[in-house]
Structure 1
Amino acid sequence: MTERFKTTRTSQYIMSAVNDTKFSSEVFLLTGIHGQEDVYLWISIPFCLMYVISIVGNSVILFIIKTDPSLHEPMYIFLSMLAITDLGLSISTMPTTLGVFWFNSREISLNACFAQLFFIHSLTFIESSVLLLMAFDRFVAICNPLRYASILTLPRIEKMGLIFLLRGVAVVFPLPFLLKRFRYCEASVLSRSYCLHQEVMKLACSDITVNSIYGLFVTISTVVLDALLILLSYVMILKTVLSIASYAECFRALNTCVSHLCAVLLFYTSGIGLSIVQRFANSSSPLLPILMGYVYLLVPPMMNPIVYSLKSKHLSAKIIRAFNK
């Protein structure tokens, strides 16, 4: 009887050890677009093109603004902040995305995955903050033009940029540590070619309540708050513009906001669309959420330099002049 009891306890111990090993996966498996593996090489062509346009476009804008003293104004300083953020977003996702589609390199270590999601989420929140700063710039320029130069001084712009940079980093900093304490199943397969907190969190074989609550808090206190403040800024701008008697002046004032409005719509529309699709899309057809995820991270960094180059005659003239030299 004693021998039988020992055998049973030993078996339970072995099973416990096996289970512990099973739930301690050290890598995640990235996925491109499920079901389209045969055409990954062709799919990689538009992805590669988007990365090239994003990196070259934002780099050109940064170079022109840095080298031309006439562009050292608040509006263009904020634009350079947006370009730096978009460059960071593109560089954060490019190695794993092209690795999956070009070389079928699917494995990523836990630490590398946590580092990638830290940069992706930090830069996303920073971009939201930069768009808010750009809305504030347009608000001051239209609603209080006589005090524009005294309000948006270079030291003040630097302080605002630093505050929002620290906010973006600080709110995301706990996420890798919260994820690191979990155990992950052996078949930890991600649905995209990059890591996001929401998806990695769901692969944990543990209680994720704290991560869910903290993630919701961070989103509301950053992106949602910024969106509401941007909306408030444009309500005030519209109120001021509609009080202008001259239609020509009214049109001229609104025309200075078009580029920023396009950037805001690109960023928030794709983000809201991704959130809606992830919650309400049919789980048997995951293609739409995957595509929306790529749109959210790849399209705004690609389109922002194009929109600003086309809409800002001063900037486009400087770019053309630089390439004609």
Structure 2
Amino acid sequence: MNFVNSDLDKNITFVRPAYFIISGFSGIPNIKYYYVFLFLLFIVSVMGNTVVMVIICLDQKLRAPKYIAVFNLAFTDLFGSSALLPKVLDIFLFDHPYISYNDCLAFLFFYYTLFYMQPLNLVALSYDRTIAIIFPLHYHAKVTHRFMFFLIGFFWFFSITVTLTLVCLLTRHSYCNSVVINSYFCDYGQIYRLACDDITPSFIFSALLTVLILWLPLVFIVFTYIYIGFTLTKVATVHERVKAFKTCTAHLSLVAIFFLPLLIVATLTGVMHPHARMINLSLTSAFPPSLNPVIYVLQTKEIKESVKKLFKIRSHDNLLIVKGV
């Protein structure tokens, strides 16, 4: 088999492999049981996020600016898990570890674009909760439909732009040694480390993105909740404090589910077994999309009421059909 394709461009030759080999889960004992678990997470993610999106579209009461960000979070979770998990199962469960160079770059683009949108969505929701609690009388003036559409649109533009930059940087590398990616997907960090030329630009950009898209949003969210907590201490009654805090529980749960696994992996990388690290990294991609809709349905009063109303109407219609009315 022809291993590499070479493209001559003036004074420089870029050596691009015909394919990459994904080897992340190879050698892990009883890993097929884990694939079943990933498949179940994928089904829950598809069903849960679809339900949230449909409810927000159908219920007029959920047309507030906040639910633009909730809808967008469900959208990115749905398509993010759809971009990742079926391909992971195809690679490892059905033993198709080979992926072409162009397909790998396309997969990387869609996955990272959707993955980067998750913490940015959490920033939008954090801003919404902060204004609602700190400036309740000015909430409708500050958090408008126009503002939320603009904010989400800017986040999409930013996410797409930086991911395109990642892909462009990878196309400037030559791959003349190994083509084995030690990850469960086309991982940007693993791919540029396979290059046999200068990887400094890719390394610097990767570190910059880690700060901009992961740690900076986390710092912003933590700061907003410190500010909210400080403000709640000034509220006159305990009942008002509890009521204000309840409006934040769903968002806090989403933040914890997304960031805590990443913090654990980052902290324990040096002492964690490579197999355990791979499993934990894959869970950081699979868990949030499947749990986010469950959390919002269970902890958000408006969505919970909409779900009950929807199922009540469906049950009533089915009863009428059974009775022949």
SS of residue paired to 1:103: coil
- Alignment correspondent of 1:237: 228
- Select which of 277, 284, 290 maps to 1:289: 277
Instruction: Write the distance in 1 (CA, Å) between the matches of 2:263 and 2:156.
Output: 23
Q: Deviations over 1:15-48 (max 9, x none)?
A: xxxxxx9x653111112522137x4543321111
Pairing 1:137-286 to 2, within 5 Å after superposition = 137-185=128-176, 187-278=178-269, 280-281=270-271, 285-286=273-274
* 1:314 maps to amino acid: E
Cα deviation per residue 1:74-109 (whole Å; 9 max; x = unaligned)? 222211111111112101212321102331111111
| Counterpart for residue 26 of structure 1 | 18
Q: Secondary structure of 1:177's match?
A: helix
Larger CA Rg, structure 1 vs 2: 1
Q: Is the 8 A contact 1:33 1:192 kept in 2?
A: yes
Between the aligned partners of 1:222 and 1:66, the Cα distance in structure 2 is: 29
Q: Which amino acid aligns with 2:277?
A: P
Instruction: From the two aligned structures, give the one with the greater strand fraction.
Output: 2
- Verify: 1:300 aligned to 2:288, yes or no: yes
TM-score between both structures, scaled by the size of structure 1: 0.87
Q: Which secondary structure does the structure 2 equivalent of 1:183 belong to?
A: coil
Q: 2:33 aligns with which of 36, 42, 49?
A: 42
Q: What is aligned with 1:8?
A: none
Matched with 2:302 is 314
Q: Larger deviation: 156-165 or 219-228?
A: 219-228
- Cα deviation, residue 192, structure 1: 2.8
Distance 1:52 1:313, change over 3 A: same
Structure 2 equivalent of residue 135 of structure 1: 126
Q: 1:225 to 1:36 in 2, by over 3 A?
A: closer
Number of equivalences = 300
Which aligned pairs between 1:13-162 and structure 2 lie closer than 5 A? 24-36=16-28, 39-162=30-153
- Code of the aligned partner of 2:192: M
The 8 Å contact of residues 62 and 83 in structure 1, kept in 2 or not, is answered as yes
What is the letter of the counterpart of residue 23 of structure 2?
T
Q: Which has the higher helix share?
A: 1
- Cα-Cα RMSD: 1.8
Percent of aligned positions that are identical: 28
Deviation at 1:323, TM superposition (A): 3.0
- List gaps (5 residues or longer) in structure 2: 1-12, 315-325
The alpha-carbon distance between structure 1 residues 40 and 101, as it changes in their structure 2 partners (threshold 3 A), is farther
**8 Å CA contact retained: 1:281, 1:289:** no
Q: Once the two structures are superposed, what CA deviation does each residue of 1:120-163 show, in whole Å capped at 9, x if it has no partner?
A: 22222211111011000000110011111111111111111111
